[in-house]
Structure 1
Amino acid sequence: MTAPTTATDVNQPSLEHAPPAGRRMSWPVLLLVIAGALALTSIVRLITGANGITNVSQMSTALQLAVPIGLAGLGGLWAERAGVVNIGLEGMMILGTWFGAWAGFQWGPWTGVLVGIIGGCLGGLLHAIVTITFNVNHIVSGVAINILALGATRYLAPLAFEGHQGGSAKQSPPVDSLGHFSIPGLSGWLDSLNDQHWFFVSDIAGLLGGLVTDVSWLTLIAVALVPATWWILWRTPFGLRLRSCGENPIAAESLGVNVYKYKYLAVIISGGLAGLGGVFLSIVANPFYLEGQTSGRGYIGLAAMIFGNWMPGGLAIGAGLFGYTDSLNLRGGSANVHALLLLGALLLVAGAIWLVIRKKYVKAAITFVVGALVFAWYAGTNEVPNQVVSATPYVVTLVVLALSAQRLRMPKADGMQYRKGQGK
């Protein structure tokens, strides 16, 4: 007779076999760290005169650029919490961009949103069949899906878009807007406060103003998906069973969990979230599909998920960081990146001091030398080359992953092959 399944029972094996995850930063400490970083940014703004690094327009652009990265990261989180590595997020985003724009220009933007999600789900279903049913290597399957999605959309785009007004072999006709909103009164007040350029206060006003000014309805949905994902995966029996499949699928199976079902659901949902990120690019960020418009955001979303330690809150912070650095390309890029060199130097020096306190003298010396070199770069130049500005999001991705690697703890069975009954 099969033992009854409860949320507590299913979660227990993963807790017993999981390695120590280390101390987690509490919310008060996290908020204090964020406030300290914002205060340091404000000091840099006052020294350099680069007011654009924290103005409302910069933060609004950063939010718009962070949303598709965050949605791709959420997709990766769902799959990997169930034990399936999803390198195919980029391809699923590409499917979302194409299907969203294709349906959107014909039947309206909200239909485009729905069809784009379905397109991403199809990519997720393919990845699930290949990796879960046939036990193909997860990385190989993901890379194949990325190549297949790119080839399929290149083939379909001329058939679907040529002959329509504004359409071509590489671009769809324009899609109607989903609509934007600003909070009356609050948006204008924060904008005025930001224009005062006061220390810290104006920077907070710029940050908050970017969250309430000219915001798309799809942005609101995307932001709501972060706490929704946390609640489903960490506060419901469904989520506990799904996570047990990523920690110890054999133990989960012994308690009556249908591991195949939960893995399939997780990977299909993963594809749908990545597809929604693609829809955002082809309907909100740009009102049309354009070949190559994902620009590696699926991979950066995967990096944001890893930076966030496979947790929704950390993922959101990572997506915001990468979105902000990406926004430097669009608004005063060279001047802003040059100012951020000073911020980077100060952060490195602060990190060196922290390492000295922890008696890690070699690492502290290396960190201090790097900080000194960055400061010398800032002091010896008045601007940075445009190539550096364009590369900033990817450089930040690599640096952040390198600095956060030691505290990461992935699901124990992530990427492992599973066969029903293999524990007998």
Structure 2
Amino acid sequence: MTTADVLSPNTGGTTMPVKPPKRRIPGWAKGAIWGLLAVGVLAIASYATGVNTLTSTNTAHTALRLALPILLCALGGLWAERSGVINIGLEGMMILGTWGAAWGAYHGGVWAGLISAVVFGALGGLLHAVATVTFNVNHIVSGVAINLLGLGVAKYLANLVFTPLSGNPRQSPPVPKFDTYSATFLSDWLSDLEKMQRVFISDLAGILNGLVTEVAPLTMIAIALVPISYLVLWRTRFGLRLRSCGENPVAAESLGVNVYLHKYVAMIISGGLAGMGGASLVLLAGGADYLENQTNNRGYIGLAAMIFGNWRPGGLLGGAALFGYADGLQLAGGGTAVLALLYGAVILLAVIVAVQLFRRQWIAAALGVVGAGALYAIYWTNDDLPSDLIPYTAHFVTLIVLAVASQRLRPPKADGALYRRGED
């Protein structure tokens, strides 16, 4: 039977058919579908424009390395905001993490550098918690102060510690990097598929090859933290209590939840994750040693990735991948590759417009047509993009994605609200 017969008191005791609830597609399945769609769009754009860089192994590998600090900062923002604390200070905590990573790695090796980065970032998170949770300082004001303080403290410590070692207050001496590992047999097979130049198959092989070649332990840890964060926040009592603090702290308090404690724990974890994001800039092979202004606003992009992901671990993983890919593409392929990406965006918008027309959402479809036309005009009228604009590709993508995704966002209800124990 496809329907269930139930006794309805409103129909004189007759039986009424009730449709069973629709089965929802699991989140991981939706992510896989979106991932395959993205690869398909990139494959078509690569074939149409002749720019193989869009799906090359080098682009995917570079994108993975550049996505890690964004991913870790986004996870830090997730922990903070699920507890009800807006963490604009991710950038400052990340800066502290870069200095801590260089200092720890120089004196004790890469693992000491990673631990040091987490500690320095966690201290920034603790300071933000003291200001916002204990003293009820406005979350935005406190976050901006943390960013300024992190920058100033890192400059002072670099001048104090690194100047005698390297002679340069803006740069650390060379520090050790994490070793990398490759899945040799799988990588060789994927390389062969990529060289065959078959549409979609070779493109998918190139992207996957970049994800399994020269992978550092820190990369594995960062990716593993995504499902771990989901399991802790959504499948444990501690996670339920923490999220209740971000939804309704007064109700949580009435049920015996120590709201202050959970917010403090969330902020310390948030800062530690941001510090780990700073460590990924310093300790991964291919990255630079500690440099002043090394984060380049990645903390803010991580916050944007979290918002794009609708305050969910899987969604922010997709956001970090998108922003990391945009950043890696401009390094691997330059302006020509970015223009080819615009062509792919036109194809994606055409699909979205078709879906909107099917749903009879005429205004959204019209806006999609205008956007696709503007992007295609940029692609058609330019052979290359100005070199001054190329480094800001990820920032432009951030603005566009947030503008598109803003209609479906649902933040925690008490996110950013000032809370004092015992008050309604």
TM (normalized to structure 1)? 0.92
Structure 1: distance between partners of 2:29 and 2:235:
22
Alignment match, 1:294 = 295
Structure 1: distance between partners of 2:327 and 2:222:
19
Alignment match, 1:208 = 208
Task: State the Cα distance separating 1:155 from its structure 2 match.
Answer: 1.3
Aligned ranges for residues 227-246 of structure 1 at < 5 Å? 227-246=227-246
Alignment match, 1:330 = 331
**8 Å Cα contact 1:92/1:146 also seen in 2:** yes
Residue identity over aligned pairs, in percent, reads 53
Structure 1: distance between partners of 2:252 and 2:373:
52
The one-character-per-residue Cα deviations of 1:5-37 (angstroms, maximum 9, x if unpaired) are xxxxxxxxxxxxxxxxxx887443442332222
Aligned: 1:103 with 2:79: no
Secondary structure at 1:347 match in 2: helix
Q: Read off the aligned partner of 1:249 and give its amino acid letter.
A: P
Q: Read off the aligned partner of 1:383 and give its amino acid letter.
A: D
Structure 1: distance between partners of 2:289 and 2:27:
42
Structure 1: distance between partners of 2:141 and 2:364:
36
Structure 2: distance between partners of 1:167 and 1:283:
21
Structure 2: distance between partners of 1:381 and 1:287:
33
Task: State the Cα distance separating 1:364 from its structure 2 match.
Answer: 1.6
Structure 2: distance between partners of 1:146 and 1:27:
34
Task: State the Cα distance separating 1:367 from its structure 2 match.
Answer: 1.7
Which has the higher mean CA deviation after the structures are superposed, 149-158 or 34-43? 34-43
Task: State the Cα distance separating 1:300 from its structure 2 match.
Answer: 0.2
Structure 2: distance between partners of 1:225 and 1:154:
30
Structure 2: distance between partners of 1:271 and 1:28:
31
**8 Å Cα contact 1:232/1:238 also seen in 2:** yes
**8 Å Cα contact 1:177/1:287 also seen in 2:** no
Task: State the Cα distance separating 1:359 from its structure 2 match.
Answer: 1.7
**8 Å Cα contact 2:128/2:146 also seen in 1:** yes
The verdict on how the C-alpha distance between 1:266 and 1:26 changes in structure 2, with shifts beyond 3 A counting, is closer
Task: State the Cα distance separating 1:286 from its structure 2 match.
Answer: 2.5
Structure 2: distance between partners of 1:401 and 1:287:
30
Secondary structure at 2:74 match in 1: helix
Structure 2: distance between partners of 1:249 and 1:356:
42
Structure 1: distance between partners of 2:227 and 2:329:
28
The one-character-per-residue Cα deviations of 1:147-195 (angstroms, maximum 9, x if unpaired) are 011111111111101121x451000111112211001211122122112
Secondary structure at 2:422 match in 1: coil
Q: Read off the aligned partner of 2:203 and give its amino acid letter.
A: D
Task: State the Cα distance separating 1:316 from its structure 2 match.
Answer: 0.5
Alignment match, 2:256 = 256
The one-character-per-residue Cα deviations of 1:190-221 (angstroms, maximum 9, x if unpaired) are 12211222111111111211111011111111
The verdict on how the C-alpha distance between 1:66 and 1:267 changes in structure 2, with shifts beyond 3 A counting, is same
Task: State the Cα distance separating 1:362 from its structure 2 match.
Answer: 2.6
The verdict on how the C-alpha distance between 1:188 and 1:138 changes in structure 2, with shifts beyond 3 A counting, is same
Alignment match, 2:85 = 84
Alignment match, 1:64 = 65
CA RMSD, 1 decimal: 1.4
Structure 1: distance between partners of 2:167 and 2:273:
26
Alignment match, 1:411 = 412
**8 Å Cα contact 2:27/2:314 also seen in 1:** no
Which has the higher mean CA deviation after the structures are superposed, 363-372 or 392-401? 363-372
The one-character-per-residue Cα deviations of 1:54-85 (angstroms, maximum 9, x if unpaired) are 01110010000000000000000000000000
Alignment gaps of 5+ in structure 2:
1-23
Task: State the Cα distance separating 1:287 from its structure 2 match.
Answer: 4.8
Structure 1: distance between partners of 2:210 and 2:84:
36
Q: Read off the aligned partner of 1:72 and give its amino acid letter.
A: C
Aligned: 1:46 with 2:47: yes
Structure 1: distance between partners of 2:253 and 2:144:
29
The verdict on how the C-alpha distance between 1:28 and 1:218 changes in structure 2, with shifts beyond 3 A counting, is closer
Aligned: 1:278 with 2:278: yes
Structure 2: distance between partners of 1:198 and 1:335:
22
Secondary structure at 1:60 match in 2: helix
Alignment match, 1:197 = 197
Please tell me whether Structure 1 or Structure 2 has the larger radius of gyration of its CA atoms. Answer: 2
Task: State the Cα distance separating 1:363 from its structure 2 match.
Answer: 2.7
**8 Å Cα contact 1:175/1:287 also seen in 2:** no
Structure 2: distance between partners of 1:84 and 1:26:
26
Alignment match, 2:184 = 184
The verdict on how the C-alpha distance between 1:115 and 1:269 changes in structure 2, with shifts beyond 3 A counting, is same
Alignment match, 2:226 = 226
Structure 2: distance between partners of 1:297 and 1:356:
36
The one-character-per-residue Cα deviations of 1:73-111 (angstroms, maximum 9, x if unpaired) are 000000000000000000000000001101211121111
Aligned: 1:156 with 2:157: yes
**8 Å Cα contact 2:92/2:151 also seen in 1:** yes
